[in-house]
Copies of this chain bind each other. A is one copy, B any other.
Amino acid sequence: MEKQIKNIFYAGAIQPDFISKSISNHSTKTDIGAHSIFLGQVRSDIIQDKKVAAIEYSSYEPMALEKMHELREQIFSKYQLTCMHIHHSLGIVPAGEICLFVFTSSKHRRDAIDACNEVVELIKKELPVWGKEIFEDGKHVWKASN
């Protein structure tokens, strides 16, 4: 059986309109009672007296997509989900913009909520993705793992 590997990567900041379209796509699925959404937003942290203006994300994409496929199967075997959608930015995301969008849906709320929490942790821990924090002066540091 062929694996259907879904692309999770999104060029640049994830737009709120994309999120609202994703939500309204579920209105025909009337067995859904609960959606849980996690959004990561780029913070303008102060590091060594300099302000982060943006994060540039890069990934080892083929490995990340294979890994995400495994995590997806793991989550679907553990929770009663109707669906799960994951979107992670690549490239530059300015401070204040959305870089991660995790969206789970289920009949009863505990499955959507618990699956969302768990997959956010797994994404941060297991996906080969790197954030480069770019300061207002153009210099950068590599984001510490979280």
Chain A residues close to B by CB (< 8 Å) = 16-17, 19-21, 23-24, 26-44, 95-98, 105, 107, 109, 113, 117, 120
Contacts and interface: CB of A to CB of B under 8 A. Distances in A.
Contact of A16 (B20, B36, B42, B95): B20
Contacts of A28: 96
Nearest to A19: B20
A142 to B, nearest CB: 17
Given A21-B16, A23-B16, A23-B98, A35 B39 contact: yes
A24 to B, nearest CB: 4
Given A28-B96, A29-B96, A113-B117, A34 B38 contact: yes
